[in-house]
Amino acid sequence: MLVSSSKDKNSVIGDMSFYGVIQEIWKLNYNTFNVPVFKCDWVQNNGGVRIDELGYVLIDLNRVGHKSDSFILASQAKQVFYVEDPSDVRWSVVLTPPQRDFEDRYNEQRTW
């Protein structure tokens, strides 16, 4: 759910993506369990993110924002990588790596 403030009466259901670069990885130790968190430099959503005519997401890594919300849980992150746009070096294209399949070779039974 997207809201603009705690008093917002017109909330909207939808997804909002944030793009950034991990600067630090922390492991919070709570004695019985650990919680990995990432400290990130986030790209501003206004002016730092756009979609080109082919549907690719482009970001300007020089437009850093959201400095008061720099931490996320590792479970909230998705891996992407950035490729410099050859037509305009200020922008980078956001690409997602292919999904890797997990193959359980340890428990594999041979049927021969």
Q: What does the DSSP 8-state code read for residue 48?
A: H
The alpha carbon of residue 101 and the mean position of all alpha carbons in its chain are separated, in whole angstroms, by: 21
Per-domain boundaries in the chain: 20-95
Task: Collapse the DSSP code of 75 into the 3-class scheme (helix H, G, I; strand E, B; otherwise coil) and give the result.
Answer: helix
Q: What is the pLDDT along the chain (112 residues), one digit of tens a residue?
A: 455 556 667 666 667 789 999 999 999 999 999 999 999 999 999 999 999 999 999 999 999 988 888 999 999 999 999 999 999 999 999 999 987 766 666 666 655 5
Overall pTM > 0.75? no
Q: Tell me if 60 sits within 8 A of 46, measured CB to CB.
A: no
